[in-house]
Amino acid sequence: MSNGMGLRGRLASGAFAVTAEIGPPRGADPEALRRKVAPLAGWVDAVNITDNAGAYVRMASWAGSLVAAQAGVEPVMQLTCRDRNRLALQSDLLAASAVGIPNVLLMTGDHPKFGDQPDAKPVFDLDSVQLLWAARMMRDEGRLLSGRALSTRPAWLIGAVENPFAPPAGFRAARLAKKADAGAEFVQTQFVFDVPAFARWMAEVAELGLPGRCRILAGVGPVRSLRALDHMRTGVPGLHIPGEVDRRLRSVPADRVAEEGVRLCAEIIEQIREIPGVSGVHVMAPGYEHGIPAILERAGLARARPRDGGPGSELTGGFQGDRSPRSAWPTAPTLGGTGAH
């Protein structure tokens, strides 16, 4: 953790937040995950641990979250509706809080068709909005979907995802409003490569008064090769790469694409920071997690290292103290209150 206040404190303070994304290993060895997470300590406020991302089986996100915490970075546990019915979703949410996971990110999940086991039964018992709603009810009202009372309320910060670029264009800001209504307190977006389109979406989001009650972290990441570029253009549903980005990456010699991709990512981060209402960035760099600090440094997001030797590798410290019993944002801050750029 960068400064001991955790993601919740960071977002509440209005300072620009940084999260990153890590996929747990396909295997039972926690060391590989620790090696990916440890270099991010002091650079990010929290790290997402994905939940069978892309419908490929990996170590469970709750266990990955514990490993991340041991490695010194606060986890955001991703939880998808694809693999669990409503009973399992609720018990996993209780478990997450019980072991001290301070943030959860609730999403529908990629369809099994795209993963390594397309023969699996897709569950989708709840959708992401219903799961957000259930989570808020568990935490704020102390009740399960069944209405039964919980002995102890969970305490996580509730996150969601949104894709500002997918059709129907007129409904994407409204869809975020729906998620905020259901319970989302922060949202991480799909990769932003088209900054003007993102800014237009942010204007709609601001119009709906959302940044005050649901913090927005823009998804960013480096394109490291032309092969990756082609994959992102055609192989990832809902990802939009504008022509100018495509041309720029193709215009440099093949051995310079990686560097250009990192430079582009840093530039995009700098542009995003100027957009009113944006609370932070979420960096996704699969296979290149060790390069995230360099990207952040280039984007001007390097932080002073913690002076007290760093709080927290233990899970239950840090976030409990500054949690409010209901929403994390009791008073609506002013729009664009991301003052500490």
Partner 1 sequence: MLARGDAPPEPPAGLRPRSSVTGPWPHPVRPRLPGRVAYRLQRVLAPNAAYRGLAGALAKVPAALRVFTAAEKVTKGAVFGCRMCGQCTLPVTGYACPETCPKQLRNGPCGGVGADGSCEVFPDLRCVWVVAYERAEREGRVTDLMLLQRPVDHRRAGQSAWVSYWRGDDESLWSAPRAGTVTEEHR
Footprint on this chain of partner 1 (rule: CB under 8 A): 21, 23, 48, 50, 53-54, 56, 78, 81-82, 86, 107-108, 110-111, 113-116, 118-119, 122, 124-130, 133-134, 137, 141, 143, 145-147, 161-163, 165-168, 170-171, 174-175, 177-178, 181-182, 190-191, 219, 231, 235-240, 284, 286
Please tell me what DSSP assigns to residue 145: T
Residue closer to partner 1, measured from CB, 15 or 132:
132
In 3D space, the residue among 101, 88, 110, 195 whose CA is nearest the CA of residue 155 turns out to be 101
Distances, alpha carbon 186 to alpha carbons 6, 12, 98, 206, 242, in Å: 14, 11, 21, 14, 26
Nearer to partner 1, 134 or 266 (CB): 134
CB 312, min distance to partner 1, A: 26
Closest CB 324 distance from partner 1, rounded Å: 19
Q: Which is nearer to partner 1, 194 or 260 (CB)?
A: 194
Q: Rounded CA gap, 62 and 67, in Å?
A: 9
Q: Minimum Å distance from CB 52 to partner 1?
A: 10
Closest separation in Å from C-beta 259 to partner 1? 21
Between 242 and 306, whose beta carbon lies closer to partner 1?
242
DSSP-assigned beta bridge partners for residue 162: 189
Q: Nearest approach, Cβ of 126 to partner 1 (angstroms)?
A: 5
What is the spatial distance between Cα 7 and Cα 9, in angstroms, rounded to a whole number?
A: 5
Q: Which residues touch 192 (CB under 8 Å, ≥6 apart)?
A: 164, 198, 218, 219, 220, 268, 272
Rank residues 80 and 338 by Cβ distance to partner 1 and give the closer one: 80
Task: Say how many CA atoms lie within 13 Å of 4 toward its Cβ.
Answer: 10
